[in-house]
Structure 1
Amino acid sequence: MSFSGKVKPTGLRRRPLSIFITMALMPPMPVAAQEMASTQLNQIVVEGDWLGTPDKKAVKTYTGARNVVDSEQLHERGALNLEDALRQVPGVQVLDETGTGILPNIGVRGLNPLRSERVQLLVDGYPVAIGPYTNVGVSLFPVTLPSLEAVDVVRGGAAVHYGPNNVGGVLNLITKPIPNTFEQTLRERLLIAEGSGHVLTDTYYRAGGFVTDNLGLQFQANLQKGNGFRDHSDTEVQNYILDVDYFADDINEFKAQLQYYDVTADLPGALSPAAYEDNRNRSQRPYDSYDADMWRANLTWIHTPDDSLEFQWRNFAHRADRTFFFGQDLTSGGNWANPEAAASHVADSPRTFHVYGTEPRVTKQLGNHTLMLGGRYVREEVEFDVNRLTLADGSYNDTVRDWDFTTNAYAAYISDTISLLDERLTLTPGIRYEAVRTDYRDENSGALSDNHASEWLPGLTVGLQATDEVFLFANAQRSLVPVQTAQVIREGSVANETAWNYELGARWQPYSNLEATATVFRIDYQDQIQYNKAQNRYENLGETRQQGLELEGRWSPMTGLELGLGYTFLDSEQLSGDNIGKELPNAPRHQASADAVYRTGLWSASATALYAGNSFSDAANTVNEDGMGSVGELPSYTLVNTRLGRDFPLDNGMILNVGVGVNNLLDDEAYFRGVDVSPVGRVPMPGRTYVLEGQLNF
């Protein structure tokens, strides 16, 4: 275990308590690494946190499968968006429906990637889901790629400290930190889709630094405007972030962030197979669109009264309003979502969320034990309406649905990191308790119902520095996903979901320029829920199992050249129900990646490649596609991205970086099945796209 940190501004004393806790909680490092760390301690201010520093050094001794996608990988590998940048991580699957990043579909280890609802998404450690307990699907994603410094992808070992909805792990998105001295960044980016010629502009500005010895301020603005790669994809995004970091004295620090995010977009939706073959860039959903905004705020107090105790109190709140508009055929008697059907009505489904959460956490050092004790309270208030416009006469019905949900969620957790064998071995037993109550009221009929969930979620992580070159880890943890709002409102048999996660792995670094990681994993899922697109209902698949192997290696054979390989083998199976013995949907058995980066002088060049094997799109594992494209096997695909960049030093220490890239170089025509308000048909992933960008740091 490690801790996050940053360089403290001149004039403030470093906090020896936090350094002491950091050394106690970190699994042991090789001697050389320890010597390097000891020379840097007087530069670091640390913050008690289980995941700790989101950098590749922390990954080496973390007691679970973990990757950090750093700033260079996010911004200098030709990725279209955050989803694209995550493709190289073992075990991660991405289905990109827009090319703009506004509605991500990220899955881990065979868990359904649609709307990223099977993984815990955090921003700077705070939950980003529109409803952290009852609406974990990311139907509003207030994140844009330029504002990110790194992404911490933790697939195992974090369930006790971060919950719920972490069966697939935790993705912590780290925004750009406040620099010690005043800095500005201006970036302009153009995405040009080859097939349609559409252009999306992406403008980013950042200014920040410590204005006094103890007060840091930063402002970020990101504006995106233009079209995605398909017809009917006009998109406009605004993202503004204000950060404050205040050191009241040597033992008290206050950090705050305020964000406003707004997006309006036309959604091209899914295509019938015939329409896809004719022109995959067209749209058959002329009435589908999306409008959303969110205010987010968080405040953290970090209190370090002495050398053996650290207290954090994290608070967060958001107000969000998101609406999907979608065409429906309600007169022909056919499937309303059939891409070939002409719409008779246009529905809109506004949801308004008010969410507040508070989470105190204490870390205490007692000999070779480091105790972490925390609690959480989250309240969600959700207004869920459905309205409908009749196209024939223009009449508008604003009482189709008028539902209210109120959720109160309580959690508490405790863990004890025990250091043994001269700190070469760490054992961390822990347990989390979750209690969730959701009350539902139909304002039209007056009907009332409620749902309760309470679970004890134990966990154990083990880390062993077997030699200076080999680190071994193992963990077992239990996770919970409460019944979701979208499941309550549709017919079908659903229940709260629980799962056991297991990992066994090793990291090997025989030389400074060569390293490798191997992880064996297994997920035993109880009551897993899947959405049946054809019948517009949720189904309880019962017990499922995902198990497999993740391999990763990196080698730098010469100065300036770095090579990487990754491979994931996945074996998924439904263990009960009508489809016992069959695979899970959207779960390719094989996935492989490769990348190469070369730097010389002021130039840099990179190439990345991803292969994803074929998979099924439904629980029944239907092979042959039907006429609507609602079911059928999904073909394998290969995506290749390239980028060439150069730095241009300017006067007064300014640096201009100019880059050109090609995304999906081979123009692979990958697709997946419908999602959300367009659940039937083929959804094309972006074709060949050209990237032109320039960034000025001054």
Structure 2
Amino acid sequence: MIYSNLKIKHFILLFCLILLTPSAFAQQNFGKIKGTITTSDGELAVGVNIILKSTKYGTISNEDGAFEFNRVKPNTYTLQVSLAGYETLEQAVNVTVNETTTLSLQLNVSNKQLKEVIVTANRGKAFPKQSVYVSKMPLKNIENPQVYNIVSSELIKEQAITNYEDALKNVPGIQKLWESTGRGGDGGSYYSLRGFEVQANIVNGLPGLTNGSLDPSNVERIEVIKGPSGTLFGSSLVSYGGLINTVTKKPYSGFGGEVSYLAGSFGLNRVTADINTPLDDADNVAFRINAAYQTENSFQDAGFRNSIFVAPSLSYKVNDKLSFLINTEFMAEEKTTPSMLFLGRDAPLQFANLDELNYDTDLSFYSNDLSMKNPRFSLQGQMTYKMSDQWTSQTVLSRSSSKSRGYYSYIYDNEDGNGDFGFWITKEQSQTIATDIQQNFIGDFKIGQMRNRLVVGLDYFDRNVMYGGSGYGKLYNVTAQGEVRQLSPDATYYLTQTSVDQLLANEPASNFNPQDATYSAYASDVINITPQFLAMASLRVDYFDTEGDINSDDDDYTQTALSPKFGLVYQPIQDKLSVFANYMNGFRNIAPSINYDPDGNVIGSQTFEPEHANQLEFGVKADLFSDKLTGTLSYYDINVANLVTSNPMYSSQGGEARSKGFEFDLNASPIKGLSIIAGYSYNDSKITKGDDGNVWLEEGKRPFWSGPKNLVNLWATYKFDEGTLENFGLGFGGNYASENAILDSSVTGKFVLPEYTVINGSVFYNSNKFRVSFNINNITNKDYFNGGWSTLNPQKPRNFVASFAYKF
């Protein structure tokens, strides 16, 4: 284990101090302040900052526009209310002993700022009205011709989510293929999005690479941005199906926070803390820290994951024009390789289906003695300068380091007719270092009567991956029922560090160090041709420069690519209903390859043009009944050209693929207290031009990383707001996935993971100060799998999580 008893004691002591801090202020004979806030158009104002000036106390209005201060000392105070786009409101309030002072406040639109207002959620969970990351400028969702979905921090708490992967189950069209392995370079979790593989490696619109798991404690919201987004985000970190952007928590005005403890099945223990405080009397400097400590065992006979996560952030408002923001994250994680079986890709399958495989999912085929450590650090700095009423300069810097230290294994089909798998293992010593610098100029101005919102930017991205450690060694063969078959009676090996180190001592060490840099320039303009009719035009030029392995000059190359984007939006009912269409482009740089003749002799090096994906999409967006119903319905068609087809001897370019489908998402609050999130997606992916017998790119086949064709997600909660059950509530929902062909080739045959439906539920009590909940996941104890690239990844059986949170 990486955690000494001393470190754990220090962390527990820190948590106890945090927990006891609010209690230190407790006194008798207090008063109370409560109230509601609306905007000038009568809408409930959600996410408003409210502070008591000359104190360290602050709060944020909830989904009903309501706020409350408890245990306030009797005195006369000035209440300050602020929300972006509205004039700051100050209200004198007198607090008396054992009395509640009730206020009804209304915000007026500021003439000095844009009228778009960020409302973080409708009743805590629906779409925000705008995102500053999706289009790199403030743009309402209903004005944006691109489709994106949001998972809010409130929803993460409501579902008692303790890992990042589960949060994405609330997004239509995305499916986990396999969970984080911790291996070097790409050890984060893999997902399928619109038929293409993707990883969650963007944070606040910047690179956030990791070899390990992501912790949800510092997540304000997750934005799943659909479609090939090369124009604004480049080629290195996004897929043709879209990208996953994690928006972290930022400091805010006033003092407040939350501490929580979660316990559950399989030895789950999780402690979190979220504390925000001003550092000066003028409230120009604010500090926030999020921290989490978690231990959990596998649901199988062996396996574990332990982590410590700390994320400090600091904001500094120098004046009305200049401000700074610094975000940092530190993660120390140790875990075992998740249980996965790899079916063979080069010969007819030994197992036609799950019944023939007879996989004993109670077994991990692993040992707690063989773990992987994934320490990670990231820093993001942002300087914002308002040059004028029309123009803002944004300079951002990102720096991250992610390491893999320990044992990684995979269990691969031997394809020999004996019905067993080879247990392969390596000892890694790798590190990924990434640097990104962006300079954006964001404008909001008029040319004639047409409003223009324009972003012009420069982007430099550098990535250096250092692979070290041992080569791979084959420990033994094992069946899907756990029978170990030693390779030789003279050399037997076991699942211990001593035995594995003895095996790997005979394997040559690896030393591979790829490095690449990307230099980009982009511009995007959104024009209001009329108040209801908008057009978007964007372009990126991307220069890619890689040394390949820096130990060799033979694989160096450069490429230049152009990536356009266009969109149209018409609002039959302004700010309520829109129809949209878009053309989007994504691209990928492909490294040169070595070609051989039939005798194995090198005949030359082959270079390639960048692969390109082009999407056409159209649909409808709605934001109706004062944000009580938001939804999107869209149809997309993505065509990828210049795919590289290859076999062991020769590579060529010219493959093509097509992915089309439609998606629907709905966020509704039809009556007070009831919230519904629902989504459905259908995806039809196919290789339209490829090689016969090429498992990776066989013409007419669905790619084996595309995931299920049909996905459904649903989550509904009802909270009682009066009577005996006031503040109590119920939650219910789940996920459906149709069958998933993880292998389909004329060479191997077809292997299908069955469809499944997983049902979850919760009971909770949620007041202004406390939240207590009990969540049950996989209520029916469904035995099911995720997978891709010929893998089977068994998922958790029935499990529960009990949580307690104190808010101050």
Structure 1 partner of 2:563: 457
After superposition, the Cα gap between the structure-2 partners of 1:623 and 1:352, relative to the gap in structure 1 and judged at 3 Å, is: closer
Q: Per-residue deviation at 1:365?
A: 3.4
Structure 1 partner of 2:525: 416
Query: Whole-Å Cα distance in 2 between the matches of residues 539 and 92 of structure 1?
Result: 31
Aligned pair partner of 1:359 in 428, 433, 438:
438
Aligned pair partner of 2:774 in 648, 657, 660:
660
| Matched-pair contact (CA < 8 Å) for 2:207–2:434 | no
Structure 2 partner of 1:542: 655
Q: Per-residue deviation at 1:570?
A: 1.3
Unpaired runs of at least 5, structure 2: 1-45, 55-79, 87-105, 119-129, 343-353, 476-490, 492-501, 596-601, 693-697, 721-725
Q: Per-residue deviation at 1:121?
A: 3.4
Structure 2 partner of 1:140: 212
**1:599 equivalent in alignment to 2:599:** no
Unpaired runs of at least 5, structure 1: 21-34, 131-138, 193-197, 625-630, 650-654
Aligned pair partner of 2:801 in 683, 691, 694:
691
Query: Whole-Å Cα distance in 2 between the matches of residues 503 and 581 of structure 1?
Result: 23
Query: Whole-Å Cα distance in 2 between the matches of residues 230 and 448 of structure 1?
Result: 46
After superposition, the Cα gap between the structure-2 partners of 1:517 and 1:406, relative to the gap in structure 1 and judged at 3 Å, is: closer
SS in 1 for 2:689: coil
Q: Per-residue deviation at 1:294?
A: 1.6
Regions of 4+ moved over 6 Å:
8-11, 39-48, 52-55, 484-488, 491-494, 529-532, 535-541
**1:60 equivalent in alignment to 2:60:** no
| Matched-pair contact (CA < 8 Å) for 2:181–2:337 | no
Structure 2 partner of 1:163: 234
| Matched-pair contact (CA < 8 Å) for 1:5–1:44 | no
Query: Whole-Å Cα distance in 2 between the matches of residues 553 and 44 of structure 1?
Result: 22
Structure 2 partner of 1:403: 512
Structure 2 partner of 1:506: 620
Aligned pair partner of 1:609 in 734, 740, 753:
734
SS in 1 for 2:165: helix
Q: Per-residue deviation at 1:682?
A: 2.6
Q: Per-residue deviation at 1:644?
A: 1.1
| Matched-pair contact (CA < 8 Å) for 1:99–1:685 | no
Structure 2 partner of 1:375: 458
Q: Per-residue deviation at 1:177?
A: 2.3
Q: Per-residue deviation at 1:388?
A: 4.0
After superposition, the Cα gap between the structure-2 partners of 1:687 and 1:539, relative to the gap in structure 1 and judged at 3 Å, is: farther
After superposition, the Cα gap between the structure-2 partners of 1:396 and 1:618, relative to the gap in structure 1 and judged at 3 Å, is: same
| Matched-pair contact (CA < 8 Å) for 1:266–1:288 | yes
Q: Per-residue deviation at 1:334?
A: 4.5
Q: Which amino acid aligns with 2:658?
A: R
SS in 2 for 1:618: strand
SS in 2 for 1:181: coil
Query: Whole-Å Cα distance in 1 between the matches of residues 650 and 778 of structure 2?
Result: 35
Query: Whole-Å Cα distance in 2 between the matches of residues 500 and 516 of structure 1?
Result: 25
Query: Whole-Å Cα distance in 1 between the matches of residues 758 and 85 of structure 2?
Result: 43
**1:256 equivalent in alignment to 2:326:** yes
SS in 2 for 1:449: coil
SS in 2 for 1:593: strand
1:474-513 CA-partner distances (Å, limit 9, x unpaired): 111111223489999xx99995432112220112355444
Q: Per-residue deviation at 1:271?
A: 4.3
Query: Whole-Å Cα distance in 1 between the matches of residues 152 and 110 of structure 2?
Result: 23
After superposition, the Cα gap between the structure-2 partners of 1:308 and 1:505, relative to the gap in structure 1 and judged at 3 Å, is: same
1:406-448 CA-partner distances (Å, limit 9, x unpaired): 2121011012221121x211111110011111113375xx573
Between 1:68-77 and 1:245-254, the stretch displaced more is 68-77
SS in 1 for 2:509: strand
Q: Per-residue deviation at 1:108?
A: 0.9
Aligned pair partner of 2:194 in 109, 118, 121:
109
Aligned pair partner of 1:478 in 576, 585, 589:
585
| Matched-pair contact (CA < 8 Å) for 1:98–1:228 | no
After superposition, the Cα gap between the structure-2 partners of 1:556 and 1:623, relative to the gap in structure 1 and judged at 3 Å, is: farther
Structure 1 partner of 2:207: 127
| Matched-pair contact (CA < 8 Å) for 2:541–2:563 | yes
Matches within 5 A, 1:66-465: 66-95=148-177, 97=179, 103-112=188-197, 116-117=198-199, 121-130=201-210, 139-141=211-213, 143-156=214-227, 158-164=229-235, 165-192=238-265, 198-212=266-280, 213-271=283-341, 277=358, 279-286=360-367, 289-323=371-405, 325-327=407-409, 334=414, 340-341=420-421, 343=423, 346-367=425-446, 368-388=451-471, 392=491, 393=502, 396=505, 399-421=508-530, 423-441=531-549, 443=551, 448-465=554-571
SS in 1 for 2:700: coil
Q: Per-residue deviation at 1:335?
A: 6.4
Q: Which amino acid aligns with 1:602?
A: N
Q: Per-residue deviation at 1:53?
A: 10
Q: Which amino acid aligns with 2:273?
A: Y
Query: Whole-Å Cα distance in 1 between the matches of residues 524 and 297 of structure 2?
Result: 48
Larger RCO of the pair (alpha carbons < 8 Å, separation 6+) = 1
Query: Whole-Å Cα distance in 2 between the matches of residues 178 and 574 of structure 1?
Result: 47
Query: Whole-Å Cα distance in 2 between the matches of residues 555 and 672 of structure 1?
Result: 29
Q: Per-residue deviation at 1:302?
A: 0.3
**1:523 equivalent in alignment to 2:638:** yes
After superposition, the Cα gap between the structure-2 partners of 1:219 and 1:202, relative to the gap in structure 1 and judged at 3 Å, is: same
Between 1:472-481 and 1:152-161, the stretch displaced more is 152-161
After superposition, the Cα gap between the structure-2 partners of 1:559 and 1:324, relative to the gap in structure 1 and judged at 3 Å, is: same
**1:38 equivalent in alignment to 2:148:** no
After superposition, the Cα gap between the structure-2 partners of 1:96 and 1:647, relative to the gap in structure 1 and judged at 3 Å, is: farther
Query: Whole-Å Cα distance in 2 between the matches of residues 6 and 527 of structure 1?
Result: 49
Q: Which amino acid aligns with 2:548?
A: Y
Q: Per-residue deviation at 1:201?
A: 1.4
After superposition, the Cα gap between the structure-2 partners of 1:60 and 1:211, relative to the gap in structure 1 and judged at 3 Å, is: same
Query: Whole-Å Cα distance in 1 between the matches of residues 620 and 116 of structure 2?
Result: 28
What is the root-mean-square deviation of aligned Cα atoms in Å? 4.1
| Matched-pair contact (CA < 8 Å) for 1:247–1:253 | yes
Query: Whole-Å Cα distance in 2 between the matches of residues 487 and 217 of structure 1?
Result: 53
Q: Which amino acid aligns with 1:127?
A: P
Q: Per-residue deviation at 1:36?
A: 8.7
After superposition, the Cα gap between the structure-2 partners of 1:622 and 1:238, relative to the gap in structure 1 and judged at 3 Å, is: farther
Query: Whole-Å Cα distance in 1 between the matches of residues 292 and 637 of structure 2?
Result: 40
Query: Whole-Å Cα distance in 1 between the matches of residues 434 and 669 of structure 2?
Result: 47
Query: Whole-Å Cα distance in 1 between the matches of residues 371 and 221 of structure 2?
Result: 30
Q: How many residues align?
A: 630
| Matched-pair contact (CA < 8 Å) for 2:277–2:287 | yes
SS in 2 for 1:407: strand
| Matched-pair contact (CA < 8 Å) for 2:592–2:607 | no
| Matched-pair contact (CA < 8 Å) for 2:133–2:204 | no
Bigger CA radius of gyration: 2
1:570-608 CA-partner distances (Å, limit 9, x unpaired): 111111112222222243222222332111021121112
SS in 2 for 1:75: helix
Query: Whole-Å Cα distance in 2 between the matches of residues 487 and 121 of structure 1?
Result: 30
